[in-house]
Amino acid sequence: MTALLVAIGGALGAVLRSVTDGEIKLRSRRTWPIATLCINVVGSFVLGLVAALNTSATVTAFVVTGVCGGFTTFSTASVEAIGLVRERRGVTALAYVLASVLVCVSAVLVGMALGRALV
């Protein structure tokens, strides 16, 4: 049953990522990979929130492993950073990597703080 919940959550997260990525790219003319950063920040926040709420193993499997796992994408962020380096935009790549880590970790902390305040 847990594997099925993870699979359904993962499928939902992947579809949400695809739609969100497309919508952000449609509205943004930036050459910076803002869509992936936004997706990873939102996913990090949700993960922190759910972790702090001490939900059941079932909810954690569905939301954290499934939805957040399918929604967020460290691998795409890594490929985008390498792409920036290949374009000889090393400073931009470094800023993107640092922003990805710092902002996502901050989003987890904010989600956890909100979760603790709600409990």
Q: How far apart are CA 29 and CA 114, in angstroms?
A: 32
Half-sphere CA count of 44, side-chain side, radius 13 A:
19
The answer to whether 69 is a known ligand-binding residue is yes
Structure tokens, 33: 């990979």
Q: How far apart are CA 44 and CA 64, in angstroms?
A: 10
Q: Is 32 helix (H, G, I), strand (E, B) or coil?
A: coil
The answer to whether 90 is a known ligand-binding residue is no
Task: Write out the binding residues.
Answer: 69, 72
Task: Write out the binding residues for Na(+).
Answer: 69, 72
